[in-house]
Amino acid sequence: MTSRSLTRMATVSASTKRSPSISGGKRGSPTTKLASVSLTPLDPVTEDVRRRTGLETPHELLMCYAVGSVDIKEGDILVVGSNEYPIKAVGEWVASPQGSDGFIELIVEELKR
């Protein structure tokens, strides 16, 4: 998939939250890290991806892609609309020699409430 194709497919607007560093033995509430990230729509994780990442969880996992070098880490929270998804895995795919941007694969957990 080229970055141009991925960019056209990145129709979902999201933000991320990250927990601050521990201070005085306590960790504060997660705060907004990135205010606007363009993603592909969230899709269910395939069994192949689940095996590749080694994520064994009874919860439903979803995946999406973000174009470019975006500062997103495992443990961050992806916010799409009013839904929050803990980020379980981040895979960085580097830019190609032809000059296309790299992209980030995100695997998130869908929390049922």
12: domain CATH number? 2.40.10.270
* H/E stretch holding 84: strand 83-93
More confidently predicted of 34 and 96: 34
Mean local confidence (pLDDT), 23-41: 89
Structural domain of 96: 3-110
DSSP state of 26: B
Work out the percent of the chain whose per-residue pLDDT is above 90: 47
pLDDT tens for each residue of 33-80: 999 999 999 999 887 777 777 766 667 899 999 987 789 999 999 999
Tally of domains within the chain: 1
55 compared with 104, residue with greater pLDDT? 104
pTM of the entire predicted model: 0.82
Write out the H or E segment, with its range, that includes residue 8: helix 3-9
Total residue count of the chain as it appears in this document: 113
